Amino acid sequence: MRPLLLLLLIGCLIAPARAAIEAYEFDSPQMEADYNQLIDELRCLVCQNQNLAGSDAELAQDLRRETYEMLQEGKSQQQVVDFMVARYGDFVLYRPQFKSSTYLLWLGPFLLLVVVLAIVVRRLRAASRPVDVDDTAMANARHLLEDDDGPAETEDRRENKDVSGGDAGTDNQRA
């Protein structure tokens, strides 16, 4: 078991070392800053919860290369973003634009909050309203409460408890 665990641990430590290191040369520090900002803001379509900077997927590598090439061609950040959105849709953006196709994405959490609050308020109001009980139900409840088998039996059991906390009736049955 231990050798298998050791091999698994070594494999996990070696796997990141196999990742390719991309070294791009930029014409200016501003272009490098633009590149880094873009790959931080664009989502990896394979990993879905990682940006391009943090993903080792082949598609992410291709998108980083494409971003680099577009910046080298002199395109602006907005032009790169527009190209990615046109090609892959709004999902490629971590912060999609507020437009008719993304209204639900932006407003959905607030609408859900309003619905949940309305349900909670409705339930609280219903719980605070007194319940109308008819005379038959009240008579049945009184009958159950006045029944001799209920509370009297409990008082007898309390009186029969001995000092040790045991039940006297069960001790007598054992003897």
Q: Are residues 43 and 93 in the same domain?
A: yes
Question: Facing residues of 161 across strands?
Answer: 167
Overall number of domains in the chain: 2
Same domain, residue pair 28 and 93 = yes
Domain co-membership, 84 together with 39: yes
CA distance readout (Å), 11 to 3, 4, 7, 56, 77: 12, 11, 6, 17, 39
Residue 91 confidence (pLDDT): 81
> Could you read off the pLDDT of 97-139 as tens digits, one per residue?
787 877 887 888 999 999 999 999 999 998 888 878 888 988 9
Domain assignment present for residue 1? The answer is no
Both 29 and 86 in a single domain?
yes
| Percentage above 70 pLDDT, the chain | 74
Q: Which domain holds residue 107?
A: 100-129
For range 79-89, the mean pLDDT: 90
The CATH number given to whatever domain includes residue 79 is 1.10.8.640
Binned at pLDDT 50, 70 and 90, residue 47 comes out as: confident
The verdict on 91 and 109 lying in the same domain is no
